[in-house]
Amino acid sequence: MKIICIGRNYHAHIKELGNAVPAEPVFFFKPDTALLTRNRPFYYPEFSSDIHYEIELVLKICKVGKNIQTRFAHTYYDKIGVGIDFTARDIQDRAKKAGLPWFTAKGFDQSAPMSNFVPKSDFPDPKDINFSLRLNGESVQQGNTSLMIYPFDEIIAHASRFVTLRTGDMIFTGTPAGVGPVRIGDVLEGYIEGEKMLNCAVK
């Protein structure tokens, strides 16, 4: 199983980090050891002092595919969940300045708290799904898939040009504006369409 993530997929988030709008989707990986399931706590790692939350909708791939055409891409995922793309922003900023890869900033253990998945048939329109994140009970991020630069089907089509997608793979589809730091003692809650899907305590 692999976790593919897209960066810079919402204009307002690109702006808040001072990045440029990409000419094509920007991808990176997290290893399977990044997964944090069943609402287990996240333990703040010693190598960073600026871990940020990024709430994202996540697709679950349901069949093998390579060079998938955009018009068929919707048949390659059958479930949707919500996850957090924890990012060591201090490490990422150093890597960006040096022109180096993001791996340690994004791929560390527990950097992908993940909810249970629900069938995509629960959502009448994949281009109009609301999701949000609360930090200690306060709403800090709200997203809607209509605001994505690259919608689900284009993400799948583009990623599959480079890597074969397999059953069970997950795709993090990008974060809306409002990212920020977490501290020990914080509680994060992820929602889809107002329904609580994910709880993550920072310890």
| Rounded-to-integer distance, Cα 130 and Cα 152, Å | 14
**Which residues lie closer than 8 Å to 55 by C-beta, 6 or more apart?**
82, 83, 84, 131, 132, 133, 141, 143, 175, 176, 190
- Measured from the CB of residue 48, what is the shortest distance to Mg ion in angstroms? 16
Total Cβ atoms within 10 A of residue 21: 10
**Which residues lie closer than 8 Å to 105 by C-beta, 6 or more apart?**
87, 88, 89, 91, 92, 95
Does residue 200 contact residue 36 with C-beta atoms inside 8 Å?
Answer: yes
CB nearer to Mg ion: pick between 60 and 106: 106
Question: Residue numbers of the site for Mg ion (CB under 5 A)?
Answer: 54, 85, 175
CB nearer to Mg ion: pick between 54 and 153: 54
CB nearer to Mg ion: pick between 85 and 169: 85
CB nearer to Mg ion: pick between 54 and 189: 54
- Measured from the CB of residue 91, what is the shortest distance to Mg ion in angstroms? 14
Does residue 201 contact residue 42 with C-beta atoms inside 8 Å?
Answer: yes
- Measured from the CB of residue 119, what is the shortest distance to Mg ion in angstroms? 24
Pairing of strands 130-135, 180-181: unpaired
Residue whose beta carbon is closest to Mg ion: 85
CB nearer to Mg ion: pick between 3 and 61: 3
- Measured from the CB of residue 13, what is the shortest distance to Mg ion in angstroms? 8
- Measured from the CB of residue 171, what is the shortest distance to Mg ion in angstroms? 11
